[in-house]
Chain A
């Protein structure tokens, strides 16, 4: 039972690709070995910047011998057919056996496939793995055509047994396998041989390479936190950065340095982002003040001066970077303070949001108008909400956000506060992008909620107006996220708002934006063409009119009237946006355990654009359905509804009025009249209060009388008077039970 060691030694592998590459190496090789008939005990893969390594323990020595049978032609088949079969199988006639089958005697070839030695299989599998490796991006180098993530230099492939180890021979485009590898590029240059994994790992460590990425990450974190702790500080946790840094070094050496005092006034998020993005530094925080005061960098080597030169160099680079950040910050503050960010909002008219929807500025104006309308229902001051919406995206024009897009919103808050705008406005700048995902916090400050809602509704209607809806897995404009944002903002803040009128209003604004963008494009095109003509004429060229692409203004705008826009787009698309919100709501509620048919039954009711009300209905219905009475009531309701619907279809009339207890014959019938009257007396005020739980519970109480009635009474009685009265009674059941939800949609 040999152990297998593979190492693929290359130039530096991008840090972000290392972990997956190690996994892929392991799964591709082990799958290949198993497919070829070998088994193994265990396998583990590792990655450093310069190598992928794989150990496979307890590999079988050979694949098992197998017999393979191949069916041939019938014994009485033409000679050519038999000859052809023999040629194909590489056999002679003596090798064939005859067998009786239903259709006659048939030739069979029995092929002995002897097992193969592990080395041969390993060589084949490894070559195939190298040639077909799933790198996210790969390249060629030199004069060859082999592809790898960066030039591949060595293939180490060794099978180790108790009595020694053997090189598995393979040659991939001139790279011949061996037992040789290299240690740290600078601390231990030169090659050395290994006999197996333990020898390999130990020799690597002596040559200043820690093979395991997890071990490197842990060493970095340990040392970083210790050094910070010794100075009374703490490292800001960042697992993504830790994994990346562990992929940049083979021999991690943690160094802590100072941040120049002139930079300590920068917002901590700016320090942190700049250090992480540009330098891959960890931030070190003073827990007492919350300020970032130092940095931690991870070098790839030890030096005689204990890292002093390296640290000094890093510090210098950091100072240059932070000088830039400070420059942006101070410039931005100047703009923010001078005119309350209007210079930025003005300049956003030159920034395209989407070429069919106009500029960011246009978009901001739409959001502000919508925010003003939404403010009362959210409980925000309308002027404040409109003001917040107007400046919420101003920071997109700031230098800091241009440099670090991930700081959008947050910088807006700093700048809004600096310019003396009300605190709520600053908070809204930061919060209006939220929630970004299903687990992101939902803002609760009324102004923030208003702007966030307006932003998301405008996004939805805008992209619906230009027919850019999500399809399948494609959702380039994150519209599903926007819809979920609307849902969570409404529900988690308990907002009572009928959304549909706002959606229609937003849709109208979006469509106007689309038309305006088209008009601008058309007039620009005209101007360009005009310029082309005058250029041509001014230099005395003959003008070839066919090269001009003059837009047909009539077709662009003239044929669409405002009424047609209303009819064709607003009335068609607005319900679709609401429907999209309902679809996302279904997903959202399903995750909370609400049945899809329950949601459908509630969406079918009027007022379904009030999402909070919709959910309240759904939860009441779901709760009742989980009781025995509730489940049975639905059966009773459906029975009543079926009989009634059939009768209505047959008679061509609607039985919806005038059930009279005086025609009741059977005691159960009388009791049902009674129960329905009592129930309605309770349900009506409950519905008035939107207390669906009480309304549903009261309906569930009808289960007994309804069941008893169906048990005892024939609805389609001989007497036409009795029949009509009973059908009208069923209609009362129907109208009573349909008040909370459309129970016909409940399954089962």
Chain B
């Protein structure tokens, strides 16, 4: 079987193969969340859907932003904007490791030639009040994925447990395609009439955002936005469950969670601007966690969160 799989030739082909592989395994292929997030885990399809008792299976690409990792497009491996591929299945199926290895085969990794290892790596997100146990998956010594069994999210025990897979797409693709600098990686088919490299698409934006993230972003405005998001999140969740207009019970867990995501990203921007001291860091993280926890509390009281009236 390994021999019959051809090597992919571009970044987007790897994404397409992952999409079709996980669709074939029965996942709902979702689209990226339309907000700035630090990692695929922040997508409500993971954070919120890992809560409660209802089964769930989703896969999606999530653009992710880590302002402090900006290197003006010059570092071969570091980007402030990059893509994660995220799979979440609840309850975690007993053959999840095998399913995962199948996805590596699908993107052209020949298991008979490579050394795949599951190396202990426990995952914790202090801002989401979440943790799980699992591994980082190594292919020939390189970390190609995170593999986590969620134990707690937003302070709630996960029952059933979700299995989460996160692929760092650029790094994985560079490895599969044999490229040394991310900007040199073929984005679309290298034989296409207009062949584009990753750098053609993203070099300029990396420069622009690096400058803005590090030196230009207005910290006073950001600080105010942080407080506003925090206030709005709390205000949304303080509303009565019953909507006076429709007379229906509508808990607004997702709109509130949007504000939590926003606060989290603003915190990352402030961090990149270097205006958050070590002691303040902890308190900001604590404030975001408090929002995440309230959103989780709200979500488990909704239908999607397993609440039965």
> A and B: partners?
yes
Which stretch of B14-22, B134-142, B240-248, B252-260 is in the interface? B134-142
Which stretch of A9-17, A161-169, A559-567 is in the interface? A9-17
- Residues of B144-180 contacting chain A, CB below 8 A: 149, 151, 158-161, 163, 175, 180
Closest to A319 in B: B180
Q: Does B113 contact A (CB under 8 A)?
A: yes
Q: Is the CB of A317 within 8 A of B122?
A: no
CB of B7, distance to nearest CB on chain A (Å): 13
Q: Is the CB of A317 within 8 A of B120?
A: no
Q: Does A721 contact B (CB under 8 A)?
A: no
Which B residues touch A12, using CB under 8 A? 118-120, 135
Which A residues touch B76, using CB under 8 A? 320, 323
Within 8 Å by CB of A297, from B93, B132, B141, B279, lies B141
Question: How distant is the Cα of A139 from the Cα of B148 in the complex, in angstroms?
Answer: 11
Which A residues touch B140, using CB under 8 A? 309-310, 312-314, 317
Q: Is the CB of A352 within 8 A of B133?
A: no
CB of A132, distance to nearest CB on chain B (Å): 19
- Residues of B257-308 contacting chain A, CB below 8 A: 277-279
Q: Beta-carbon contacts of B76-119 to A below 8 Å, as 1s and 0s?
A: 11000000000000011110010000000000000111111111
Question: How distant is the Cα of A351 from the Cα of B279 in the complex, in angstroms?
Answer: 10
CB of B164, distance to nearest CB on chain A (Å): 12
Q: Is the CB of A11 within 8 A of B122?
A: no
Q: Beta-carbon contacts of A315-355 to B below 8 Å, as 1s and 0s?
A: 01110100100000000000000000000000000111001
Q: Is the CB of B114 within 8 A of A318?
A: no
Q: Is the CB of B94 within 8 A of A151?
A: yes
Q: Does A305 contact B (CB under 8 A)?
A: yes
Q: Does A186 contact B (CB under 8 A)?
A: yes
Report if A300-B133 is in contact (Cβ < 8 Å); known contacts: A310-B140, A318-B141. no
Max chain A C-beta neighbours (<10 A), residue from B120, B142, B159 = B120
Closest to A318 in B: B141
Within 8 Å by CB of A142, from B91, B97, B115, lies B91
Which B residues touch A316, using CB under 8 A? 142, 175, 180
CB of B272, distance to nearest CB on chain A (Å): 16
Q: Beta-carbon contacts of A372-389 to B below 8 Å, as 1s and 0s?
A: 000000000000000000
Which A residues touch B139, using CB under 8 A? 313
Q: Is the CB of A14 within 8 A of B120?
A: yes
CB of A405, distance to nearest CB on chain B (Å): 15
Question: How distant is the Cα of A583 from the Cα of B287 in the complex, in angstroms?
Answer: 44
Q: Does A584 contact B (CB under 8 A)?
A: no
Q: Is the CB of B115 within 8 A of A310?
A: yes
Question: How distant is the Cα of A16 from the Cα of B114 in the complex, in angstroms?
Answer: 24
Q: Does A93 contact B (CB under 8 A)?
A: no
Which B residues touch A29, using CB under 8 A? none
Which A residues touch B279, using CB under 8 A? 352, 355
Closest to B53 in A: A143
Q: Does A577 contact B (CB under 8 A)?
A: no
Q: Is the CB of B114 within 8 A of A151?
A: no
Question: How distant is the Cα of A304 from the Cα of B2 in the complex, in angstroms?
Answer: 13
Within 8 Å by CB of A140, from B112, B114, B142, B151, lies B151
Q: Does A224 contact B (CB under 8 A)?
A: no
Question: How distant is the Cα of A533 from the Cα of B277 in the complex, in angstroms?
Answer: 22
Max chain A C-beta neighbours (<10 A), residue from B97, B133, B160, B277 = B133
Q: Is the CB of B141 within 8 A of A313?
A: yes
Closest to B163 in A: A141
CB of A367, distance to nearest CB on chain B (Å): 21
Question: How distant is the Cα of A313 from the Cα of B119 in the complex, in angstroms?
Answer: 17
Q: Is the CB of A248 within 8 A of B119?
A: yes
Q: Does A568 contact B (CB under 8 A)?
A: no
Within 8 Å by CB of A305, from B92, B93, B111, B113, lies B113
Which A residues touch B112, using CB under 8 A? 186, 303-304
Q: Beta-carbon contacts of A44-66 to B below 8 Å, as 1s and 0s?
A: 00000100000000000000000
Report if A303-B113 is in contact (Cβ < 8 Å); known contacts: A142-B92, A320-B76. yes
Interchain residue pairs with CB less than 8 A apart (20): A12-B119, A12-B120, A15-B119, A16-B120, A49-B118, A139-B151, A140-B161, A141-B92, A142-B93, A143-B91, A151-B149, A249-B117, A279-B141, A300-B115, A300-B117, A303-B114, A304-B113, A309-B113, A350-B277, A355-B279
Q: A142-B94, A186-B112, A301-B115 are in contact. List 16 more A-B contacts (CB 8 A).
A: A12-B119, A12-B120, A14-B120, A16-B120, A140-B159, A141-B161, A144-B160, A150-B134, A186-B111, A249-B117, A300-B115, A300-B117, A313-B141, A316-B142, A317-B140, A352-B279
Which residues in B have some Cβ–Cβ distance to A below 8 Å?
Answer: 76-77, 91-94, 97, 111-120, 122, 132-135, 139-142, 149, 151, 158-161, 163, 175, 180, 277-279
Which residues in A have some Cβ–Cβ distance to B below 8 Å?
Answer: 11-12, 14-16, 49, 137, 139-145, 149-151, 153, 186, 248-249, 279, 297, 299-301, 303-305, 309-310, 312-314, 316-318, 320, 323, 350-352, 355
Ranked 4 nearest A-B pairs via Cβ: A313-B140, A14-B120, A12-B118, A143-B160
